Structure formats: C-alpha cells, structure tokens
C-alpha cells in the first residue's frame, strides 16, 4: 500500500451526482461543436443561468479551460481530453470492490490504492 506519513492524492473537492456528471458531459459535447452563447447552452441543457455558472466553475476547477470570447464560450481542447478530467460520480463500491479495482500499475490504480491506504492506516 502507501508508505506511512505519505499523504494520499486528495479526492476531488468537486464530487458530483450522476445527473450532474451527465450534464457536464453534454456541456462538453455542445462546446466541442464550436463557440456557443450562454443562451444557446442553457436552452439546450434546460438549465438556468445560475446552474450554468456553477457548472462552468466546476469545469474550470477540474482544469478545463472554457474562456468567453466575443460573447461565446469556447472549449480550448478536444472533447476527449476535457472529458478525461471530468469528476466522476460516486460509484457506490464496497470496500472489497475498491480493493479489487486497486490492483494494477496505472495511475488510476495507484490513486485508488492511496485512498484505501489512507482509510486503513
């Protein structure tokens, strides 16, 4: 597991529900088609302005650049690259399932191992 005293990679401070994850994914799909006005995005997502700005803030906190240029929001990278950084909803795993998924050598496996080690130490 992890070494004593080593801090685990922190969990994202922006945990999301499955519904919000779906909306964020759809938002990236919309922005991936080209620059969009706020009105267009909110209409297509059936979202109020306050909700739009909350989602925009969350995207930016996840490191996804969505600047406003000429009154239109633009995705500065590919949809695939941005999607890879979206927060993932809680998968409701048991501890045993999480330990099983932590077996492996990838960065994702290591992150999960660190979280498990934080719990058990």
79 in the same domain as 25: yes
DSSP structural state of residue 46? T
Query: For residue range 48-105, what is the model confidence (pLDDT) as tens digits?
Result: 999 999 999 999 999 999 999 999 999 999 999 999 999 888 888 899 999 999 999 9
28 in the same domain as 70: yes
By CB atoms closer than 10 A (0-12, 13-18, 19+), residue 33 is exposed
Query: Mean pLDDT for the chain?
Result: 88
72 in the same domain as 49: yes
Q: What is the pTM of this model?
A: 0.77
Q: What count of other Cβ atoms lies within 10 Å of the Cβ of residue 94?
A: 8
Per the structure, the count of domains in the chain is 2
For tokens 């050598």, the residue is 105
Measured CA to CA, the distance from residue 73 to residue 94 in angstroms comes to 39
Residue 58's pLDDT is 95
| Structural domain boundaries enclosing 100 | 91-121
Residue 11's pLDDT is 44
Residue 120's pLDDT is 87
Residue 10's pLDDT is 46
Query: For residue range 1-26, what is the model confidence (pLDDT) as tens digits?
Result: 444 455 544 444 557 888 999 999 99
103 in the same domain as 120: yes
96 in the same domain as 65: no
Residue 77's pLDDT is 96
Residue 2's pLDDT is 43
Q: Is 31 a domain residue?
A: yes
Residue 3's pLDDT is 46
Q: Is 74 a domain residue?
A: yes
């Amino acid at each position: 597991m992890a070494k004593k005293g080593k801090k685990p990679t922190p969990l994202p401070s922006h945990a999301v529900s499955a519904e919000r994850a779906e909306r964020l994914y759809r938002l990236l799909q919309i922005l991936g088609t080209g620059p969009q006005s706020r009105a267009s995005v909110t209409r297509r997502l059936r979202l109020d302005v306050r909700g739009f700005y909350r989602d925009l803030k969350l995207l930016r906190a996840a490191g996804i650049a969505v600047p406003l240029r000429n009154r239109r929001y633009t995705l500065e990278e590919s949809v695939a690259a941005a999607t890879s950084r979206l927060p993932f909803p809680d998968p409701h795993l048991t501890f045993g399932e999480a330990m099983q998924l932590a077996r492996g050598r990838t960065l994702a496996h290591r992150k999960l191992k660190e979280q498990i080690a934080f719990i058990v130490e």
